[in-house]
């Protein structure tokens, strides 16, 4: 199939946004066989069926590279408590927060979790998302961590979307291991990881490095285990305080370090050297009414790739809009619309270790979003508006 009469963005062309005007794309077997100026279309393509996209913009399908979208219940009551003065940390320490979602997730059936997760993923799909990462971490026992990851895999079977799963057993301490973080890691987290890997449920391993979660020392064995199983790592780092998470992540050549509000320029240098992507999560910053923004200027200066993601979760970012995330990255953190664009395409792919999507190039997966806009800056500029015309996943749609 040939798509013609369109503007391409997100190609590897040396132009802002990778723009190619007056373009065409040849899709074959779920892959991009050729793309470029329509006047350069190869001879062999001349007899093939083609479709006129009437000048629309075609970008890579969007990638949401950090979500916790499989969970039970919701935390609207906690939202209310925070607006009445309680802090996120206060709520976590008094048994609310992540551990209340853990209780609801343990109680939920696999079918119930799937139904709720599909509602969330459908919203992402409606905005042109073709790849989503989904973390575990609301089980915190072997059975429920595996249940969450199975549901995440099912999301990818029920919908035409690529799902990458991340094991986040080191997300919080469950109440049965209160005051025993090392015991939890040794006796629940690591065995759950091993079993999940045996079932083929894990694409990467993550941890939450924070005063209300785990220290770098406590997370070390989790990363060691990941390495011994050949899995890439990523880390929730420097979100609420500076704990040395970026250092831990870069020492292990992590794919990404995520959040990073309290990261420093030294952290940015370490990340640049390790090839670790900075995943920027403005939804959590906004919801928690944080005041310290991540060091975007330092990431820019040291050429650390910046991805943007929803962090979709019931506590700190109950958000399923990647377009709104792009807008927030610009408005709250001073990212440029072009950085926001690459942050949900090329750099989001890098944060997941993917090299066959996130940019439009020959041989890449034909994951595309077709938009009713004339310039890609409009994707980050508008608020609460969805200009998606059509989404194509692996050549279909």
Q: Are 150 and 110 in contact (CB under 8 A)?
A: yes
Residue 97 binds ligand DI6, judged by CB under 6 A: yes
Instruction: Give the separation between CA 236 and CA 202, rounded to whole angstroms.
Output: 17
Instruction: Write down the least CB distance from residue 381 to ligand DI6, Å.
Output: 26
Query: How many chain residues interact with ligand DI6 (CB under 6 A)?
Result: 14
User: What one-character DSSP code corresponds to residue 253?
Assistant: T
Residue 262 binds ligand DI6, judged by CB under 6 A: no
User: Using CB under 6 A, which of the segments 79-87, 94-102, 115-123, 174-182 binds ligand DI6?
Assistant: 94-102
289 contact partners, CB below 8 Å, separation of at least 6:
none
Burial of 12 (0-12, 13-18, 19+ CB in 10 A): middle
| Sheet-wide strand order for 306-308 | 234-237, 256-259, 277-280, 306-308
C-beta of 66 vs 225, nearer to Fe ion:
66
Instruction: Write down the least CB distance from residue 391 to ligand DI6, Å.
Output: 27
250, interface contact from ligand DI6, Fe ion, none, CB < 5-8 Å by kind? none
Instruction: Give the separation between CA 8 and CA 63, rounded to whole angstroms.
Output: 17
User: Phi then psi for 134, rounded to 5 degrees?
Assistant: -130, 130
Instruction: Give the separation between CA 160 and CA 34, rounded to whole angstroms.
Output: 23
Residue 365 binds ligand DI6, judged by CB under 6 A: no
User: Of 294, 315, 343, 358, which lies in the binding site for ligand DI6, with binding defined by CB under 6 A?
Assistant: 315
Q: Between vectors from CA 12 to CA 11 and to CA 17, what angle results, nearest 5°?
A: 60
Distance separating the N- and C-terminal Cα atoms of the chain: 12
User: Using CB under 6 A, which of the segments 2-10, 49-57, 294-302, 314-322 binds ligand DI6?
Assistant: 314-322
Instruction: Give the separation between CA 281 and CA 269, rounded to whole angstroms.
Output: 20
C-beta of 19 vs 81, nearer to ligand DI6:
81
Instruction: Write down the least CB distance from residue 395 to ligand DI6, Å.
Output: 34
User: Using CB under 5 A, which of the segments 42-50, 116-124, 305-313, 339-347 binds Fe ion?
Assistant: 305-313
User: Of 144, 256, 316, 345, which lies in the binding site for ligand DI6, with binding defined by CB under 6 A?
Assistant: 316
User: Using CB under 5 A, which of the segments 79-87, 143-151, 263-271, 307-315 binds Fe ion?
Assistant: 307-315
User: Of 7, 59, 67, 101, which lies in the binding site for ligand DI6, with binding defined by CB under 6 A?
Assistant: 101
C-beta of 232 vs 315, nearer to ligand DI6:
315
228 contact partners, CB below 8 Å, separation of at least 6:
none
Q: Are 318 and 358 in contact (CB under 8 A)?
A: no
User: Using CB under 6 A, which of the segments 190-198, 307-315, 321-329, 349-357 binds ligand DI6?
Assistant: 307-315
C-beta of 221 vs 318, nearer to ligand DI6:
318
User: Of 311, 339, 347, 367, which lies in the binding site for Fe ion, with binding defined by CB under 5 A?
Assistant: 311
The residues in 163-202 that bind ligand DI6, with binding defined as CB under 6 A, are 171
CA dihedral 198, 199, 204, 205 (to 10 degrees): -70
Q: Are 71 and 24 in contact (CB under 8 A)?
A: no
C-beta of 59 vs 239, nearer to Fe ion:
239
C-beta of 9 vs 170, nearer to ligand DI6:
170
Chain position whose Cβ is nearest to ligand DI6: 315
2 contact partners, CB below 8 Å, separation of at least 6:
24, 25, 26, 27, 41, 45, 48, 49, 50, 51
User: Of 167, 184, 208, 214, which lies in the binding site for ligand DI6, with binding defined by CB under 6 A?
Assistant: 208
Instruction: Write down the least CB distance from residue 226 to ligand DI6, Å.
Output: 17
Applying CB under 6 A, the residues found at the interface with ligand DI6 are 97-98, 101, 171, 208, 236, 239, 284, 311, 313-317
Applying CB under 5 A, the residues found at the interface with Fe ion are 311
């Amino acid at each position: 199939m040939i798509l013609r009469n369109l503007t391409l963005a997100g190609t590897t062309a040396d132009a802002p946004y990778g723009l190619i005007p007056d373009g065409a794309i040849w899709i074959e077997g779920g892959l991009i066989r050729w793309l470029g100026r329509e006047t350069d279309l190869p001879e062999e393509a001349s007899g093939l069926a083609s479709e006129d996209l009437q000048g629309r913009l075609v970008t890579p399908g969007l990638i949401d590279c950090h979500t916790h979208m499989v969970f039970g219940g919701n935390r609207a009551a906690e939202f209310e408590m925070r607006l009445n003065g309680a802090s996120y940390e206060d709520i976590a320490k008094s048994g609310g927060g992540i551990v209340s979602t853990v209780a609801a997730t343990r109680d939920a059936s696999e079918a119930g979790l799937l139904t709720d997760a599909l509602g969330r993923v459908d919203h992402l799909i409606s905005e042109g998302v073709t790849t989503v990462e989904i973390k575990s971490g609301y089980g915190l026992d072997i059975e429920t961590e595996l249940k969450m990851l199975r549901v995440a895999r099912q999301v990818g079977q029920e919908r035409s979307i690529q799902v990458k799963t991340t094991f986040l057993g080191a997300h919080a301490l469950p109440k049965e291991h209160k005051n025993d973080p090392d015991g939890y890691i040794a006796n629940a987290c690591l065995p759950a990881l091993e079993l999940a890997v045996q079932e083929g449920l894990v694409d990467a391993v993550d941890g939450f490095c924070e005063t209300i979660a785990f220290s770098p020392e406590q997370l070390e064995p989790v990363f060691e285990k990941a390495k011994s199983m050949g899995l890439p790592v990523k880390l929730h780092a420097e979100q609420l305080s500076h704990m040395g998470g970026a250092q831990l992540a870069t020492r292990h050549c992590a794919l990404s370090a995520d959040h990073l509000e309290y990261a420093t320029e030294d952290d940015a240098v370490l990340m640049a050297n390790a090839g670790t992507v900075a995943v920027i999560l403005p939804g959590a910053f906004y919801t928690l009414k944080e005041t310290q923004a991540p060091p975007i200027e330092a990431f820019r200066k040291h050429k650390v790739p910046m991805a943007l993601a929803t962090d979709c979760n019931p506590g700190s970012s109950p958000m399923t809009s990647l377009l709104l995330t792009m807008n927030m990255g610009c408005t709250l953190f001073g990212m440029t619309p072009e950085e926001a664009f690459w942050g949900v395409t090329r750099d989001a792919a890098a944060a997941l270790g993917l090299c066959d999507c996130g940019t439009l190039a020959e041989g890449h997966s034909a994951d595309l979003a077709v938009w009713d806009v004339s310039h890609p800056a409009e994707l980050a500029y508008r608020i609460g508006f969805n200009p998606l015309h059509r989404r194509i996943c692996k050549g279909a749609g």
